[in-house]
Structure 1
């Protein structure tokens, strides 16, 4: 099979094509989808998932996972609200929240890399712990009186366009993550670690340090997402971002990132993020219930794990047939 055709049927390419098809269908067949307000709403609601998906992609490529990102975001928002009630300025609060995210990610990373605990179990535990701390910090209060200029930045649009103002910083972060994963030795080492941690260690890659960096950056981005969430929705609550981890994992895996590590592209992951976000937006416009949307997300999560594996099995089978045919011809 020609190499160009192999690239064309890669899972991440399929997801990108599905996103285009969904957008074309939605613009032509779904009432209200194409107006600027709805498109801004779609992108703004998808940005929290996209922000966390950047480091999560790198983490899953390396063979690990962090299920505590939503709780870290919720804790960041709760601390933000509590400190605002104490009279601190927003300029002082945001760095504190980001530092808190670094600490949360560092705790996850140390438990995984120094104690050898599985990241799935560790982050399920910290998922509950960080959410519980958030509730202790803020209780059931909702803080809504943040400075107008910050609320406008998090929820406002660029001029008369449909693009949110927060989309431009995201593009910068996306570019940085893309270069790191696909154009640096650090990124290449993550693929090596995900493919075979033992082989990567023998090749001189400092596996534990790389993973610790990833968990720390993931915590940082989760806390940044918590700040953005509170400002975008003009409400800091301890239960902010509940369920975000499911959307992030579903999107990343849907984009072709192998759950076992070592395979995938950031472009595919982001295509998965916006495919899921667009599908949820269309379902909302069609008055599909929130419970049904959760079911769809779960189904997509299963498909995202199953699809690439089936595609690889088909590819291996085709390669075997080509090898057998060439041998018989010879």
Structure 2
């Protein structure tokens, strides 16, 4: 008679038998950080003015919205979902900020309503995906067009450029005595919160469980629908905040603001080691992925490379990140199968 204690485990987490330092250093995230450092060193040595404080300031200002949106996007993709509507939410919140400010509303109230608009957009996405049961890819492609259409419809081809000077100055200000923009302060706070939630709480572990197998996660007691709904609401809120910052940074509210930013966000998240198939990823790798794309783009622009070529390079990096992830998984399966066969032959030899 076979008992539960006699049965062999169906799955073991061999990676966790290795020392912690090895799990940290020998990883895709560590590889991305290493590539980032290498690109910075090479660019500083070969590209004129790349390491100047002004370049650092403009680089961090430009990638700040991508850094912000990448935080909730990481959590969403870990659960094997995706949100393609984030850039259109940025545009919609930008338009709301401009319209309400132009109507005479105090800027803090206008910004709060714009963030609330982004949150409601996330609620709409989450409802269609978790309650109605539609696939996130189809839903967010549709809402990408919907939110962008509403934003363009509200302003048409006009732009609002009149914003309180104290707020635009704050968006462009640096931390005193450094070339680091002030926007990095709220980003660092959010990054710490997201990292703690993802890597050190039961909620974060449930995201990985959902990404690995949502049916098994549901049977283990995880409310899969509610968890995903919260992630899309969070994505909308952060995108709304990014839209307010985008508006102040460029002193410009237009319906086509942040056009195409969703591709940059997704490329950075996947490049940072998050699996498009869910269940894998770490926040420090994603931050390194955003910085890598930003640093590479900045260095190439200073070197005189056109934006079209930079977009091609970003696309190639995105494809390589997906292909390399699948290739590594295939190699690991082959290696595990080979080890299993060797063990099987060894047991058969011992039995004879």
TM-score relative to the length of structure 2: 0.90
The answer for the alignment partner of 2:290 in structure 1 is 273
| Matching of residue 317 in structure 1 with residue 317 in structure 2 | no
The answer for the alignment partner of 1:227 in structure 2 is 244
Q: Distance in 2 between matches of 1:187 and 1:23?
A: 32
Q: CA RMSD in A?
A: 1.6
Spell out the pairing of 1:74-153 with structure 2 (5 A cutoff). 74-153=91-170
Shift of 1:152: 1.6
Match of 1:294, SS state, is: helix
Of 136, 157, 163, 2:180 maps to 163
Contact residue 11 and residue 311 of structure 1 kept, 8 A: no
Spell out the pairing of 1:46-57 with structure 2 (5 A cutoff). 46-57=63-74
Q: Choose 1 or 2 for highest CA Rg.
A: 2
TM-score relative to the length of structure 1: 0.96
The answer for the alignment partner of 1:67 in structure 2 is 84
Q: Distance in 2 between matches of 1:17 and 1:322?
A: 30
Q: Distance in 2 between matches of 1:224 and 1:276?
A: 22
Shift of 1:269: 1.0
Spell out the pairing of 1:13-32 with structure 2 (5 A cutoff). 13-32=30-49
Shift of 1:260: 1.2
Match of 1:160, SS state, is: coil
Q: Structure 1 residue runs of 4+, over 6 Å off?
A: none
Shift of 1:149: 1.8
Shift of 1:158: 1.5
| Matching of residue 186 in structure 1 with residue 203 in structure 2 | yes
Match of 1:134, SS state, is: helix
Contact residue 102 and residue 162 of structure 2 kept, 8 A: no
Of 199, 213, 230, 1:213 maps to 230
Shift of 1:6: 5.8
Q: Distance in 1 between matches of 2:179 and 2:336?
A: 46
Contact residue 276 and residue 322 of structure 2 kept, 8 A: yes
Match of 1:42, SS state, is: helix
The answer for the alignment partner of 2:3 in structure 1 is none
Contact residue 7 and residue 13 of structure 1 kept, 8 A: yes
The one-character-per-residue Cα deviations of 1:93-145 (angstroms, maximum 9, x if unpaired) are: 01101111111000000000111100000000000000010011122222222
The one-character-per-residue Cα deviations of 1:138-189 (angstroms, maximum 9, x if unpaired) are: 2222222211221122112122311001111110000000001111111111
Match of 2:324, SS state, is: helix
Q: Distance in 2 between matches of 1:313 and 1:261?
A: 16
- 1:31–1:234 CA distance, 2 compared to 1 (3 A): same
Question: Gaps (5+ residues) in structure 1?
Answer: none
Shift of 1:326: 5.2
Name which of structure 1's ranges 319-328 and 62-71 shifts more when overlaid on structure 2. Answer: 319-328
| Matching of residue 39 in structure 1 with residue 92 in structure 2 | no
Shift of 1:203: 0.4
